[in-house]
Amino acid sequence: MFMTRLSAVDICALRPQCVPPTSCPPELRVRLQSLGVWASPTASPGSARPRRRGCRAGRRVQLRRTVNTPAVSVSKLPTENPEVTFSCLNVRLLHSKIDDVLEIIRDRRVDIFCLTETWHDSDSACIGRLRTSGFIVADRPRFRVRDDLSTNHGGVAIVSNDSICMSPVAVTPASTFEHVAVCIASGQFACIVVTLYRPGSVKLQQRFFEELASLLEHLAYLHYWRFQYSS
């Protein structure tokens, strides 16, 4: 039986990934290899190495993996379907609130603004101001019974900014409500938008539901042929 004295550095050097200490006697090296606690650095690839135990060793391995892990750069891809913001307002006389409407569109970043009770005519200055400000407007004023200067109640409109492609959609007039329909497209997003207003001063009738169902069926049929069948 033999005895040898090793320093702390020599004992730490016995780990498999380190170079064997020069002060280790050949007899001790052979004995450690027979016990499976020594792995020669010249061992063939794939040979089993002794398993390291202890939480401190695990922390060292985890730290080494964390430090050696390369940073991954993630680029944000552009969205194919940009968001479209909708808004609806019962404005009640657009002419006196045109500045408020423009402020809402700007502050809230509204893309499609649906307006009811605009109380406007086809030649109203408020509609012209929206168009001269760069917006696309599809409107339907209430039909005047008398050609005078009185306020033309009712009326609906859809206002779109210049980033949205908007085109009017022909729909059948109704007797129980006022409405205007448009087709909008932005990137790969496309839909049909309808602004509908039923006067609250008129009693609700069964005719209203019949005309509403007919309008929805017509728009569903139009949406199918314009978007799905064409694609």
**Phi and psi, residue 62, nearest 5°:** -65, -40
Structural domain boundaries enclosing 202: 86-228
- Spatial contact of 153 and 142, defined as CB atoms under 8 Å apart: yes
Domain-embedded: residue 180: yes
Per-residue pLDDT of the chain (231 residues; tens, 9 = 90+): 555 666 656 666 665 555 555 566 777 777 767 766 665 555 544 444 445 555 455 555 444 544 443 333 333 334 455 689 999 999 999 999 999 999 999 999 999 999 999 999 989 999 999 999 999 999 999 988 777 888 889 999 999 998 999 999 999 899 999 999 999 999 888 899 999 999 988 999 999 999 999 999 999 988 877 766 555
Task: Let me know if residue 58 belongs to a domain.
Answer: no
The answer as to whether 98 is a domain residue is: yes
In a domain, 108, yes or no: yes
Which residue from 82, 108, 114, 113 is spatially nearest to 195, judged by alpha carbons?
114
Question: Is 9 inside any structural domain?
Answer: no
- 12 within domain boundaries: no
Q: Which of 92, 139, 87 is nearest to 109 (CA)?
A: 87
Number of domains the chain contains = 1
Distance, CA of 180 to CA of 191 (rounded, Å)? 14
Q: What is the CATH number of the domain that holds 158?
A: 3.60.10.10
46 φ/ψ sector (left φ>0, alpha ψ -120 to 50, else beta): left
**Cβ distance 166 to 136 under 8 Å?**
yes
Quick: pLDDT tens for 134-176.
999 999 999 887 778 888 899 999 999 989 999 999 998 999 9
Question: What pLDDT does residue 100 have?
Answer: 96
Establish if 70 belongs to a structural domain.
no
The reply to whether 17 falls in a domain is no
